[in-house]
Copies of this chain bind each other. A is one copy, B any other.
């Protein structure tokens, strides 16, 4: 039950047994052995089959009982009905890890799902590192292991990849073969009965043979664990994922405004962002990044140089650069002097460096050498269009570039625009392990992603603080509401929670009689707002339960009577506690919405946005997963487009940001403290240059 699995036995087994080995070529139980042999596996292969004596030159063992005790890895390809039995036998010989390739389990539901649960329980109990069922298997080129039935062997390399889709696994392998991109580990996760992406990420993070982690995901089983594991990995190496199912998101029935906006995909995006996971938006971006990260070093700054033999593509690359956070600075004057010696007079010595349509290997090499030696630049894009000169000299140009690229630790991305006649260069770059691009845009986007990752790696540690609060007082309100079976904590109750958390609320008091109301108003100071207070009345305006701008005790008394009587008439089911008397919102404030929604995978997802029309029409909102660090609270406010409105547009004073950040941290703490709260709207939170005020609040319960 410890959950500590021996992934070394799985990835680098000394002995592998194939349960369901077959002598028939084309059968999975045969292909797995053939792949293992073809990979050059140096350990012992034991085919298990009751009928054969020898398969692919390896002596066969009749049954699982005949396998050595403490076996490293068993690969199961037997029919579904024999899988559980085989696993039980494997437990007896103390197997350390297993891969169930066989399908027909959770993915078909019913009996299959039941069977999977039994296998899962068995493996967890006996600490068996299980991959699958319903998977393609696993490859570890670093240790010459290939226990998949996927056709072909990948090239060895330093990318490790996991996939929740077997079909995508085959696509990625095939793409990588074509692009000559190599792999260390490659894992088809299947149904993830035991091992999931979190286990694999932890292992790959510590694996010295893995420099880049790539993954295809459709869902995450344990979001909290994923976050915990992956943020350790991204400290050390880039993690690039494609996550599909964006459109299937969208909360169907949400109890709050926040709930209706914050869909499941927002939670994934936010989790990735907060843990430094790079999310590729398409398969082509995924592959571009695989190439870039595995074949080039990280840029140590944003400054990009472009060398080109044609003006047009230089302009296009500059256009593409302006869309990113990369910068096109100019070469140092010493570099310009040197360039003038090696390039023709009609070359452009400004960035982008147009070295002329008749540039040969000499010009390309000399230009690149000068540019990589110039500290002004952190990355270089080398563009070639197949002009007649370039075409004539393409091999020499390519070789010259490769020689220079191999000597520098700056990322240099060749971008040769064409297809037919530049293919020789593409092959040369591939063989030299240099990233290659056909178009400037994806090359530049890849460089930017690498630059951002370099910044992430260098980032400061986040500061987490627990704000002072009276948790017990808040707990009493929450528990009371839960006990009564309420689905919501309405404003007048929530006011007590605001106070317990020292949130900057508008002054307010609960009044149960008209006289109490008048007294409360006197204390708060006129004018005041009066709001109906009833656990059953969530939408106060629906019963005419709000009166604003009450200017004296008489008006307050009259309003109390009017509002409570109308509410009693309109909602005879409701118990009317009284009315909340509240300070009027000060003038000149901006309306903010802060809220959270508890995501099934990742826990509370906090939302921040300008309130009112802005949030509804512009959807100008930003997200963070709880808990927020001080830096998160600072940054989330600055992420929205309308941030400038808060900072003070048209000569207005900016709002008090510290006060807003304080509210954010307290809302975060509240979400963390009370799992019973499923959704929350602090809407509006009003803020001016002085301070923030939580002007209304609703909390939804499970």
Residues of A within 8 A of B (CB): 31, 108, 149-152, 164-168, 170-171, 173-179, 216, 218, 242, 244-248, 282-284, 309-313, 315-316, 318-322, 346, 357, 385-388, 390-391, 417-423, 438-442, 612-613, 616-618, 641-642, 644-645, 649-650
A420 lies within 8 A of B613 (CB): no
A174 lies within 8 A of B422 (CB): yes
Q: Complex formed: what's the CA distance from A23 to B357 in Å?
A: 24
CB neighbours (8 Å) of A386 from chain B are 151, 170-171, 174
Q: Complex formed: what's the CA distance from A603 to B700 in Å?
A: 57
CB neighbours (8 Å) of A164 from chain B are 312
Q: Complex formed: what's the CA distance from A650 to B420 in Å?
A: 58
Which residue of B is nearest A385, CB measured? B167
Most buried by B among A167, A248, A388, A440: A167
Other A-B pairs, 10, CB within 8 Å; known A179-B419, A613-B650, A618-B641: A150-B388, A151-B391, A165-B310, A166-B387, A167-B309, A167-B385, A174-B417, A174-B418, A174-B421, A283-B417
B613 lies within 8 A of A649 (CB): yes
B284 lies within 8 A of A441 (CB): yes
Contact for A417 among B166, B171, B422, B644, CB less than 8 A: B171
CB neighbours (8 Å) of A170 from chain B are 385-388, 390-391, 418
B175 lies within 8 A of A418 (CB): yes
CB neighbours (8 Å) of A309 from chain B are 167
Q: Complex formed: what's the CA distance from A644 to B246 in Å?
A: 25
Contact for A283 among B246, B316, B388, B641, CB less than 8 A: B316
Given contacts A216-B312, A244-B319, A319-B246, contact A418 B171 (CB under 8 A): yes
B439 lies within 8 A of A316 (CB): no
Q: How far is the CB of A226 from chain B (nearest CB, A)?
A: 18
CB neighbours (8 Å) of A242 from chain B are 316
CB neighbours (8 Å) of A618 from chain B are 618, 641-642
CB neighbours (8 Å) of A438 from chain B are 175, 284
Some 12 contacts from A to B, beta carbons below 8 A apart, are A166-B387, A167-B312, A167-B357, A168-B385, A170-B391, A171-B418, A174-B420, A175-B419, A248-B315, A283-B313, A283-B316, A617-B642
B319 lies within 8 A of A152 (CB): no
B616 lies within 8 A of A649 (CB): yes
CB neighbours (8 Å) of A421 from chain B are 151-152, 174, 177
CB neighbours (8 Å) of A319 from chain B are 244-247
B422 lies within 8 A of A168 (CB): no
Contact for A311 among B165, B173, B282, CB less than 8 A: B165
Which residue of B is nearest A164, CB measured? B312
Q: How far is the CB of A341 from chain B (nearest CB, A)?
A: 22
Q: How far is the CB of A241 from chain B (nearest CB, A)?
A: 13
Contact for A282 among B31, B177, B320, B641, CB less than 8 A: B320
CB neighbours (8 Å) of A388 from chain B are 31, 149-151, 170
B423 lies within 8 A of A168 (CB): no
Which residue of B is nearest A28, CB measured? B388
CB neighbours (8 Å) of A179 from chain B are 419
Q: How far is the CB of A23 from chain B (nearest CB, A)?
A: 18
Given contacts A168-B313, A216-B312, A439-B283, contact A152 B244 (CB under 8 A): no
Given contacts A168-B312, A642-B617, contact A322 B174 (CB under 8 A): no
CB neighbours (8 Å) of A173 from chain B are 418
Q: Complex formed: what's the CA distance from A173 to B391 in Å?
A: 12
CB neighbours (8 Å) of A616 from chain B are 644, 649-650
B175 lies within 8 A of A417 (CB): yes
Given contacts A245-B319, A315-B244, A440-B283, contact A357 B166 (CB under 8 A): yes
Contact for A439 among B282, B311, B419, CB less than 8 A: B282
Contact for A313 among B152, B167, B284, CB less than 8 A: B167
Q: How far is the CB of A178 from chain B (nearest CB, A)?
A: 2
Q: Complex formed: what's the CA distance from A8 to B248 in Å?
A: 55
CB neighbours (8 Å) of A167 from chain B are 309-313, 357, 385, 387
Which residue of B is nearest A283, CB measured? B439
Which residue of B is nearest A245, CB measured? B315
CB neighbours (8 Å) of A311 from chain B are 165, 167, 218
CB neighbours (8 Å) of A166 from chain B are 310, 357, 387
CB neighbours (8 Å) of A321 from chain B are 247
Q: How far is the CB of A32 from chain B (nearest CB, A)?
A: 12
Q: How far is the CB of A355 from chain B (nearest CB, A)?
A: 12
Q: How far is the CB of A320 from chain B (nearest CB, A)?
A: 7
Q: How far is the CB of A38 from chain B (nearest CB, A)?
A: 15
Which residue of B is nearest A309, CB measured? B167
Q: How far is the CB of A382 from chain B (nearest CB, A)?
A: 14
CB neighbours (8 Å) of A174 from chain B are 386, 417-422
Q: Complex formed: what's the CA distance from A262 to B171 in Å?
A: 45
Q: Complex formed: what's the CA distance from A282 to B415 in Å?
A: 14
Q: Complex formed: what's the CA distance from A387 to B174 in Å?
A: 10
Q: Complex formed: what's the CA distance from A310 to B247 in Å?
A: 18
Q: How far is the CB of A302 from chain B (nearest CB, A)?
A: 16
Most buried by B among A177, A322, A439: A439
CB neighbours (8 Å) of A150 from chain B are 388
CB neighbours (8 Å) of A313 from chain B are 165, 167-168, 171, 283
Which residue of B is nearest A652, CB measured? B613
Q: How far is the CB of A256 from chain B (nearest CB, A)?
A: 17
B178 lies within 8 A of A284 (CB): no
What are the 6 closest A-B residue pairs judged by CB atoms, nearest first? Answer: A178-B419, A167-B310, A174-B418, A165-B312, A177-B420, A167-B385
Q: Complex formed: what's the CA distance from A641 to B619 in Å?
A: 10
CB neighbours (8 Å) of A441 from chain B are 282-284
Q: Complex formed: what's the CA distance from A313 to B167 in Å?
A: 8
Which residue of B is nearest A320, CB measured? B282
Q: How far is the CB of A630 from chain B (nearest CB, A)?
A: 26
Q: Complex formed: what's the CA distance from A386 to B166 in Å?
A: 10
Q: Complex formed: what's the CA distance from A91 to B649 in Å?
A: 65
Q: Complex formed: what's the CA distance from A175 to B415 in Å?
A: 13
